[in-house]
């Protein structure tokens, strides 16, 4: 079986992030033969053309190159994409060679009542320019303030949490299928 490795990127930098919890949950439900590693973007400075790439950004770019696809966990800040995630994508987008073009990607998010749907649709627009191949379905819109999450950000083993786990599992399966089709 061909193994596939995906890279998770979370737009929230706080310790008890629900969005990071979504990525940790995804790690536990990856289809056999695939895995998900989670990038550390917490030290990235804001992109500037005048700034040399720091080592943390270089390491991230290496991870992006090696990944068969991306899993983007997007918090919604003021109806849009949290800036840490946009900034990480901005850094990669300036690397020669269109690293993201054609890469499969999955999007999910945890936020207020609309489950980051507004931010996710902004992110999808960003992904058009980057030429990422974002899965349309399933969409994962979760409520960060519900019983689906423990206080530390992990997806809970409650009824809501289990439903969310199933949605994430389906999304990861769809991502693997997409990556498999592209690798053939």
Ligand X SMILES: Cc1cc2nc3c(=O)[nH]c(=O)nc-3n(C[C@H](O)[C@H](O)[C@H](O)COP(=O)(O)O)c2cc1C
Enumerate binding residues for ligand X (CB under 6 A).
Answer: 12, 14, 17-19, 75-79, 110-112, 114, 144
User: Minimum distance between the CB of residue 14 and ligand X, rounded to whole angstroms?
Assistant: 5
Q: What is the DSSP letter of 155?
A: B
Closest CB 148 distance from ligand X, rounded Å = 12
Q: Which of 12/63 has CB closer to ligand X?
A: 12
Which residue's C-beta sits nearest to ligand X?
112
Q: Minimum Å distance from CB 124 to ligand X?
A: 16
In the complex with ligand X, the residue whose CB is nearer, 18 or 24, is 18
Whose tokens are 């990525």? That residue is 23
State which residue, 104 or 109, has the beta carbon closest to ligand X: 109
11: three-class secondary structure by DSSP: coil
Angle, helix 83-93 to helix 55-66, in steps of 10 degrees? 80
In whole angstroms, the minimum distance from the beta carbon of 30 to ligand X comes to 20
Nearer to ligand X, 14 or 62 (CB): 14
Q: Least distance from C-beta 17 to ligand X, angstroms?
A: 3
| Residue 83 CA from chain centroid, whole number | 14
Asked if residue 8 lies in contact with residue 73, where contact means CB atoms within 8 angstroms, the answer is yes
DSSP E strand boundaries for the chain:
4-10, 34-38, 69-73, 76-77, 80-81, 104-111, 133-134, 140-143
Q: Within its chain, how far is the Cα of 2 from the centroid? A: 22
Cβ proximity to ligand X: between 110 and 176 the closer is 110
Structure tokens of 145?
Answer: 């303030």
DSSP for residue 68: S
């Amino acid at each position: 079986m061909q193994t596939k490795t995906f890279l998770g990127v979370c737009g929230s930098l706080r310790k008890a992030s629900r969005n990071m919890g979504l990525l940790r949950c995804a790690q536990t439900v990856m289809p056999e033969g695939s895995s998900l590693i989670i990038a550390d973007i917490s030290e990235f400075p804001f992109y500037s053309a005048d700034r040399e790439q720091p080592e943390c950004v270089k390491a991230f770019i290496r991870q992006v190159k090696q990944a068969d696809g991306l899993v983007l966990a997007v918090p919604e800040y003021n109806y849009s994409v949290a800036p840490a995630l946009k900034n990480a994508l901005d850094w990669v987008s300036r690397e020669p060679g269109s690293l993201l073009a054609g890469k499969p990607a999955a999007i999910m998010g945890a936020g207020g009542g609309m489950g980051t749907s507004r931010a996710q649709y902004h992110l999808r627009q960003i992904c058009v320019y980057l030429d990422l191949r974002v899965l349309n379905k399933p969409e994962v819109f979760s409520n960060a303030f519900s019983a689906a999450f423990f206080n530390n950000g992990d997806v809970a083993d409650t009824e809501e949490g289990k439903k969310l786990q199933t949605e994430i599992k389906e999304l990861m399966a769809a991502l693997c299928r997409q990556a498999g089709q592209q690798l053939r």
